[in-house]
Amino acid sequence: RVLAIQPKSSAAINDLAVLKSRSGPQGIEDPWSAVQVAALLKDAEALEAGGGTARLNRARVLNHFAIHPAARKIFEKIPQAGRSPAVEDGLGVSLQGTGNSALAAQAFARAQEAGADPRRFAQRFHQAATAALRDPGECLGLLGDMKAPRGEFEEFAAKKLEEACTSWKTRKTSQTN
C-alpha cells in the first residue's frame, strides 16, 4: 500500500524486499526471488540518504549467497563509529568468507563489546569453523553451545559444519589408533 502512495520510498521498497525474501515455500532460496530481492534492495539503497537498512540488508543477502568480497565492501563503507553488532557480525562473516579469520575475530569481538550475545550463531559458527581443522572435537563443542540457528540458511550451515567436524574427528581418532 505504501508503495502505491510513495513509489520512491526507500523504507517501503526495503520492506517489500524483506517480505519477498521470506515468502513462498523457498523464500530467498528460490533463484527468481533472490534476483528480485537483490534488485529491490539495490533500488532502496539508491534512494537512502547515506545508506542504511537497505544497504545492510543487501550486504546480508550477499553474505547469504557467499558473495563475501562484495558484502565486505558494503560493510566496510559503514562508518565504524555507527556500526551496530549486526553490522560487525556481517563484516565478520564476510571477512571469514574471504579467508581473513584474524580480522573476522576482531569484528565479532567488537559486536560482542557492543552488546551482542557471545553464544549467537555468527560468533559460535566462526569459532567452530576456525577450530575445525585444529581440533574437530572443539568444533563440535562450540556448535553444541551456540544459540539455536534461525532460518534454513543457518540450519544448513551448522549441519554441514557439524558433518565435517564429525568426519574429521572420526578420521583423526582412527589415525591415532
Mean of the per-residue pLDDT values for the chain?
83
Of 61, 59, 54, residue with least CA distance to 14:
54
Give the Cβ contact number of residue 47 at 10 Å: 14
- 51-85 pLDDT, tens digit per residue, is 678 888 888 888 888 889 999 998 988 877 777 88
pLDDT for position 51:
62
pLDDT bin (cut points 50, 70, 90) of residue 50 is low
Mean pLDDT calculated for residue range 162-175: 85
Region 138-154 average pLDDT: 79
Q: Which residue has the cell 565435517?
A: 164
pLDDT at 174: 77
State the Cα–Cα distance between residues 161 and 131, nearest whole angstrom: 11
Would you say residue 91 has pLDDT above 90? yes
Cα 41 from Cα 49, distance rounded (Å): 14
Please choose, from the candidates 170, 169, 146, 171, the residue with its C-alpha nearest in 3D space to the C-alpha of residue 158.
146
Per-residue pLDDT, 67: 86
Reported pTM? 0.76
